[in-house]
């Protein structure tokens, strides 16, 4: 995993000139890398597998939003339970503000490392406009460039994602049907078996 690791920063020219080596570092779970241009944060490079994981988490959250459950409104982990139990009814404005397609939800737009180096300024502009780009090497999708604000959003969601996993629901590996079943059990006070497994693993 690279999301949550200490951030390494570099200028756009350095990143362009060393792009292949940086992507190899990402493949080896070193990073993430913050790319700066004119002292402005332009993009963060993370592993593509992590981008896919966050796509799945976002899809799960969209499903919860459809049931008027907005765990992102919680200011602390302790508030998530009340929201999940339906004790906090979101306003229409809150639903509209949260239930949007984020950068990570866009379709993959791959680009080879050689092309990315030649068009690096353009690639950074695309990422800055909210369109992630995924770097390809050896025929594999290896690393994804996202906006710094999107990276910060993912970091902010990490504690919430951990809360759900601790209570038996892995937002990155679930289905709509499994989420409904989990929600029914949770509101009925039944502890899912997976929650016991998660608790054992943490212990």
Task: Read off the pLDDT of residues 99-138 as tens digits, 9 standing for 90 and up.
Answer: 777 898 887 899 999 999 999 999 999 999 999 999 999 9
Q: How confident is the model at residue 1 (pLDDT cuts 50, 70, 90)?
A: low
The answer to whether residues 90 and 157 belong to one domain is yes
The answer to whether residues 45 and 58 belong to one domain is no
Q: Is residue 3 part of a domain?
A: no
The answer to whether residues 159 and 197 belong to one domain is yes
Task: Read off the pLDDT of residues 126-184 as tens digits, 9 standing for 90 and up.
Answer: 999 999 999 999 999 999 999 999 999 999 999 999 999 999 999 999 999 999 999 99
Name the residue with higher pLDDT: 202 or 138: 138
Q: Is residue 2 part of a domain?
A: no
The answer to whether residues 139 and 122 belong to one domain is yes
Name the residue with higher pLDDT: 62 or 96: 62
For residue 73, the 8-state DSSP code is: G
Q: Find how far residue 10's CA is from the centre of its chain.
A: 22
- What integer pLDDT is reported at residue 203 of this predicted model? 38
- What integer pLDDT is reported at residue 92 of this predicted model? 87
Name the residue with higher pLDDT: 91 or 21: 21
- What integer pLDDT is reported at residue 82 of this predicted model? 94
The answer to whether residues 93 and 177 belong to one domain is yes
Q: Is residue 161 part of a domain?
A: yes
Domain of residue 28 covers: 8-49+108-148
The answer to whether residues 56 and 98 belong to one domain is yes
Q: Is residue 157 part of a domain?
A: yes
Q: Is residue 131 part of a domain?
A: yes
Q: Is the pLDDT of residue 196 over 60?
A: no
- What integer pLDDT is reported at residue 192 of this predicted model? 65
Structural domains counted in the chain: 2
Cis peptide before 116 (omega within 30 of 0): no
- What integer pLDDT is reported at residue 200 of this predicted model? 45
The answer to whether residues 144 and 162 belong to one domain is no
The answer to whether residues 17 and 94 belong to one domain is no
- What integer pLDDT is reported at residue 96 of this predicted model? 84
The answer to whether residues 143 and 63 belong to one domain is no
Encoding tokens for residue 124?
A: 């950074």
As a whole number of angstroms, the distance between CA 13 and CA 16 comes to: 5
How buried is 88 (Cβ within 10 angstroms: 0-12 exposed, 13-18 middle, 19+ buried)? Answer: middle
Instruction: Give strand ranges (E) for the chain.
Output: 8-11, 33-37, 40-47, 110-112, 133-137, 140-146
**First CA to last CA distance, the chain:** 21
Q: Is residue 85 part of a domain?
A: yes
- What integer pLDDT is reported at residue 100 of this predicted model? 76
The answer to whether residues 56 and 84 belong to one domain is yes
The answer to whether residues 55 and 91 belong to one domain is yes
Q: Is residue 1 part of a domain?
A: no
The answer to whether residues 160 and 197 belong to one domain is yes
Q: Is the pLDDT of residue 194 over 60?
A: no
Give the rounded percent of residues in the chain with a pLDDT score beyond 70. Answer: 93
Q: Is residue 79 part of a domain?
A: yes
- What integer pLDDT is reported at residue 193 of this predicted model? 62
């Amino acid at each position: 995993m690279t999301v949550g690791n200490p951030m390494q920063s570099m200028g756009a020219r350095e990143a362009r000139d060393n792009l292949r080596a940086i992507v190899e570092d990402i493949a080896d779970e070193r990073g993430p890398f913050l790319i700066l241009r004119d002292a402005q944060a332009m993009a963060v490079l993370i592993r593509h597998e992590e981008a896919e994981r966050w796509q799945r988490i976002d899809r799960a959250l969209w499903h919860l939003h459809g049931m008027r459950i907005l765990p992102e409104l919680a200011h602390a982990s302790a508030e998530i339970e009340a929201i999940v139990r339906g004790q906090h009814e979101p306003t229409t404005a809150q639903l509209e503000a949260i239930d949007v397609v984020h950068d990570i939800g866009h379709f993959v737009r791959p680009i080879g490392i050689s092309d990315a180096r030649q068009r690096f300024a353009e690639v950074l502009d695309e990422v800055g406009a909210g369109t992630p780009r995924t770097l390809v090497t050896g025929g594999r999708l290896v690393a994804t460039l996202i906006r710094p604000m999107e990276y910060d959003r993912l970091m902010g969601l990490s504690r919430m994602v951990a809360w759900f996993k601790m209570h038996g629901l892995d937002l990155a590996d679930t289905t709509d049907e499994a989420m409904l079943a989990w929600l029914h059990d949770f509101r009925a006070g039944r502890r899912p078996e997976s929650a016991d497994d998660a608790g054992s693993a943490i212990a």
